[in-house]
């Protein structure tokens, strides 16, 4: 038997370190090559790292929330044959090693214990108490765990998770299956439950994507002087066109929602208001206006908020924009979006979908200078030429960086979008 030391891989795209989101294995586990072992959060995406070998886990480095540099040993396996034991004793590359030693959490633990000793730590991890999620809260898990649950016909909302914020690991799913629990929920007989007083608390470590979101929101809101602008749009004619296009769409074409029309309207409006299709480097005080229109689509997932990007919308027709928007948002929800899918936006659309609402003050996706919020369309009574009529209305909310975009410019762009949506034929002229 030998030891195989696996180093944090180079994920590419200039990534030099990654934050441990979840270890999917523990010391003592037997894994097969390509089994998922570690979920890592980089500046651009969450990446699942597969096992490079068949073997038994003898050592893991770092806990959820720790940052590991590329090139540092993160896990060791006991394998058949000689392994690559020399790799673990080789001096790491000059760049990552100082970072690894400067982190008190992951590296000292790894070097202060020889491979066989971490067994007690593994037992402590596996014995961690399951976290009960609040009612209505969606279960957190990796894509691999969700896939296993689907294959086993198990409802993850019924599985207790022992990870951060109740995140469900493979071990949690195994324990659920071993306990004989079924995937179906059981209705509680009426009157059978007694009310109990709840006095407990729960501390949730802010790590991974949740930490990235928090940092991004703080940076945006504290450094950008926001101003917001609201408008309502009559989309009655647009709804008729949408229904017609969906009924006559080409074979294989996606069904059109309102968003592709809004994307097309933005292409026209941003062409007329180029100062709104820009990014602002507040360190060098340089505003870069883009000719390309790359629209970020804020997308809620069970892992948090992501902004996948539809690149070069200005070069697409409405069917192409709808298809690409569906691709990047679906890949994001499934945890399969690439770093390219999640970067390079010049303007962002955020939609509250069926949640609707009358208005909102969306936070700008820094370093962009504007964001457009879309609310759901509904039939309302409005006054036209002195008569009360029923029209299909949609509210728009926008926020702007007042250092770069004056109130007149931001309002003008929204009014242009309104005009195109209320006279949808002009979108295609």
Active site residue 402: yes
Q: What is the mean pLDDT of residues 58-84?
A: 89
Work out the mean pLDDT of the chain and round it to a whole number: 83
* Residue from 226, 290, 312, 402 carrying the catalytic annotation: 402
**Helix ranges (DSSP H) in 257-379:** 258-272, 318-333
Which segment of 6-15, 29-38, 49-58 scores lowest on mean pLDDT?
6-15
Please indicate whether residue 34 is annotated as part of the active site: no
Show the domains of the chain with their CATH numbers: 2-125 (2.40.50.100), 128-181 (4.10.320.10), 209-428 (3.30.559.10)
What is the percent of the chain where pLDDT is above 70?
A: 81
Q: With contact defined as beta carbons under 8 Å apart, do 395 and 232 qualify?
A: yes
Predicted confidence (pLDDT) at residue 60 exceeds the cutoff of 90: yes
Q: Half-sphere exposure of residue 302, counting CA atoms within 13 Å on the CB side?
A: 19
Looking at residue 103, its pLDDT comes to 40
Q: Using alpha carbons, list the distances in angstroms from residue 339 to 42, 332, 343.
A: 10, 10, 6
- The whole-angstrom distance between residue 404's C-alpha and the CA centroid of its chain comes to 28
240, two tokens: 């008729």
At residue 44, the pLDDT reads: 59
CA distances for 232 relative to 209, 236, 351, 364, 419, angstroms = 33, 12, 15, 20, 11
Q: Tell me the pTM.
A: 0.65
**In terms of DSSP bridges, do strands 17-23 and 36-41 run parallel, antiparallel, or are they unpaired?**
antiparallel
Whether the per-residue pLDDT at 106 is higher than 50: the answer is no
What is the pLDDT, as a whole number, of residue 31? 93
For 321-329, the CB contacts below 8 A with 24+ separation are: 321/260, 321/263, 321/264, 322/253, 322/254, 322/255, 322/256, 322/257, 322/259, 322/260, 323/253, 323/254, 325/259, 325/260, 325/263, 325/297, 326/254, 328/297, 329/297, 329/299
Average pLDDT rounded to a whole number, residues 50-70: 90
Do residues 2 and 115 lie in contact, with contact meaning Cβ atoms separated by under 8 Å? no
Integer Cα distance of 259 and 412 in angstroms: 20
Task: Name, of 11-20, 51-60, 197-206, 405-414, the range with top average pLDDT.
Answer: 405-414
> CA–CA separation, 247 vs 226, rounded Å?
41
Phi, psi of 242 (to 5 degrees): -60, -45
More confident residue, 83 or 247: 247
Contact 43, 53 (CB under 8 A): no
Q: Which residue in 34, 334, 406, 423 is the catalytic one?
A: 406
- How sure is the predictor about 64, in pLDDT bands with cuts at 50, 70 and 90? confident
Per-residue confidence (pLDDT) for residue 338, from 0 to 100:
86
Does residue 177 or residue 290 have the better pLDDT?
Answer: 290
pLDDT score for 138 = 65
Tell the residue number behind the tokens 């894994």, with chain if given.
31
Highest mean pLDDT range out of 197-206, 334-343, 404-413?
404-413
Q: What is the pLDDT of residue 227?
A: 97
pLDDT reading at 100 higher than 50: no
Structure-block tokens of residue 352: 């509250």
User: Under a CB-based contact definition with an 8 Å cutoff, are residues 243 and 399 in contact?
Assistant: no
Exposure of 416 in the CB half-sphere (CA atoms within 13 A): 21
> Is residue 409 very low, low, confident or very high in pLDDT (cuts 50, 70, 90)?
very high
């Amino acid at each position: 038997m030998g030891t195989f030391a696996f180093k944090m891989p180079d994920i590419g795209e200039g990534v030099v370190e990654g934050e441990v989101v979840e270890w999917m294995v523990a010391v003592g586990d037997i894994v097969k090559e390509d089994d998922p072992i570690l979920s890592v959060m980089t500046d651009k995406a969450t990446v699942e790292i597969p096992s490079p070998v068949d073997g038994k886990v003898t050592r893991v480095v770092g806990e959820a929330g720790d940052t590991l540099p590329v090139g540092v040993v993160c896990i060791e396996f006991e394998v058949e044959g000689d392994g690559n034991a020399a790799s673990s004793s080789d001096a790491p590359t000059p760049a990552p090693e100082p970072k690894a030693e400067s982190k008190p959490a992951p590296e000292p633990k790894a070097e202060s214990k020889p491979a066989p000793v971490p067994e007690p730590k593994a037992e402590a991890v596996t014995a961690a108490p399951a976290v009960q999620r609040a009612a209505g809260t969606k279960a957190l898990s990796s894509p691999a765990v969700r896939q296993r649950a689907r294959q086993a016909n198990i409802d993850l909302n019924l599985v207790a998770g022992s990870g951060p914020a109740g995140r469900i690991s493979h071990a949690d799913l195994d324990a659920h299956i071993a306990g004989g629990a079924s995937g179906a929920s059981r209705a509680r007989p009426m009157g059978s439950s007694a009310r109990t007083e709840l006095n407990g608390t729960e501390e949730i470590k802010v790590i991974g994507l949740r930490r990235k979101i928090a940092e991004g929101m703080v940076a945006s809101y504290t450094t950008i002087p926001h101003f917001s602008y609201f408008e309502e749009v009559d989309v009655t004619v647009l709804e008729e066109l949408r229904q017609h296009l969906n009924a006559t769409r080409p074979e294989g074409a996606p069904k059109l929602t309102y968003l592709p029309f809004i994307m097309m309207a933005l292409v026209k409006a941003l062409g007329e208001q180029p100062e709104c299709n820009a990014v602002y480097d507040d360190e060098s005080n340089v505003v870069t206006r883009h000719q390309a229109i790359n629209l970020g689509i804020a997308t809620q997932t069970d892992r948090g908020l992501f902004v996948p990007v539809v690149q070069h919308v200005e070069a697409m027709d409405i069917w192409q924009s709808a298809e690409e928007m569906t691709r990047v948002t679906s890949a994001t929800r499934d945890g399969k979006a690439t770093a390219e899918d999640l970067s390079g936006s010049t303007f962002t659309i955020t939609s509250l979908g069926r949640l609707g609402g009358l208005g909102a003050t969306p936070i700008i996706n820094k370093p962009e200078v504007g964001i457009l919020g879309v609310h759901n369309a509904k039939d309302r009574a409005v006054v036209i030429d002195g008569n009360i009529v029923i029209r299909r209305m949609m509210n728009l909310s926008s926020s702007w960086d007042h250092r770069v975009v004056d109130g007149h410019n931001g309002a003008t762009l929204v009014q242009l979008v309104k005009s195109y949506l209320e006279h949808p034929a002009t979108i295609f002229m």
